[in-house]
Amino acid sequence: MQDTSSAAEPAPTGGATESHLPIGEVAEATGISTHTIRVWERRYGRPRPTRLPSGQRRYSDAQVRWLRRVAEALARGHRTSAVVPAGDRELEALIASPAGPAAEGAEVAGLLDAVARLDGAGLRAGLRQALERHGPRALLDSVLAPLLVAVGRAWADGRLHVHHEHYCSEVLEDFLRGLRRTLDRGHGPRIVLAALQDEGHGLGLQMAAVVCVLQEFRPEILGRNTPTAEIVAAAAETRPAAVAVSVSLATGGVETDRHLAELRRALPEPVRLAIGGDGARGVRRGPRGVEYLDGFAAFETWLARLREQAGAQA
């Protein structure tokens, strides 16, 4: 049952020290796209901005804090329809009980402490120990995914800052590149991994690449912020079995659907096209010919079937 007794969203205030941010700055501060914020306002009635005489939206500091908590609950695997209408107590309960990876434990807490201290040597040592303990595949779900959730929560709570988040991402990307080199056997079907134009998050691609090599694929990583035409050109040169696109919470929406539809039309028909990441969760029906994968387990299963099909056609 919804916690209606505390469901009131923080309202804009007129205090002298209260900020009133435009929607673009709110999107940048929360990682939630402007399109998504507008959709939630229409669908759920929140967040409710104040309006200038020009009609432009303005949001309070309290609303930005609320949106950060909403983003955190979504990142922990809960659906939008459960999170956005939730009251304060219900929202905190959702954040405290992830629908996906297990809650933060001592192992993740140690890594988070290394991030907070910008201790690269300690963070890398902790990652190596975790790899030995869990193995490469379980490392993604049991350690890295909970660590990223913990970093996001610490940022939302003000315990970490943007430079901590960026530092963590860079160390993890370097670690995953090295791991992939030790696992890559240099054979198997090719797959192009990319993030669309204006997508600034690339860590998910590195994690997906590890899943690819474990499934005996050869990932060709184009990285973040890749124009559609460049993805198409790379596919023409590498002739992959598939293209997989990573979408974060910051960029999921109508514009992403448009890029995906354009990409699907430009790719040869036999090339499969899949999308994954937090921004792909709970999406409405997207462009035809695009497969939506919810998590690395679904990606792993999809790759296994794709490899079987490629072997049957060889």
Q: Higher model confidence: residue 16 or residue 278?
A: 278
Q: What does the alpha-carbon distance between residue 72 and residue 68 come to, in Å, rounded to a whole number?
A: 6
* Domain boundary pick from 141, 161, 180: 180
Q: CATH number, domain at 235?
A: 3.40.50.280
* Domain boundary pick from 119, 145, 180: 180
| pTM of this structure | 0.67
- 162 with 207, same domain: the answer is no
- 236 with 296, same domain: the answer is yes
Tell me what the mean pLDDT of segment 261-268 comes to. 94
Q: CATH number, domain at 11?
A: 1.10.1660.10
- 234 with 304, same domain: the answer is yes
Structure confidence at residue 183 (pLDDT) = 92
* Domain boundary pick from 156, 180, 204: 180
Tell me what the mean pLDDT of segment 7-36 comes to. 71
Mean pLDDT, all residues of the chain: 84
3-state secondary structure of 32: coil
Provide the residue range defining the domain that includes 139. Answer: 106-180
Residue 138 lies in a domain: yes
Structure confidence at residue 59 (pLDDT) = 93
- 172 with 190, same domain: the answer is no
- 127 with 82, same domain: the answer is no
Residue 162 lies in a domain: yes
- 166 with 273, same domain: the answer is no
Q: What is the pLDDT of residues 46-59, one digit of tens each?
A: 899 999 888 889 99
Tell me what the mean pLDDT of segment 59-65 comes to. 90
Structure confidence at residue 2 (pLDDT) = 40
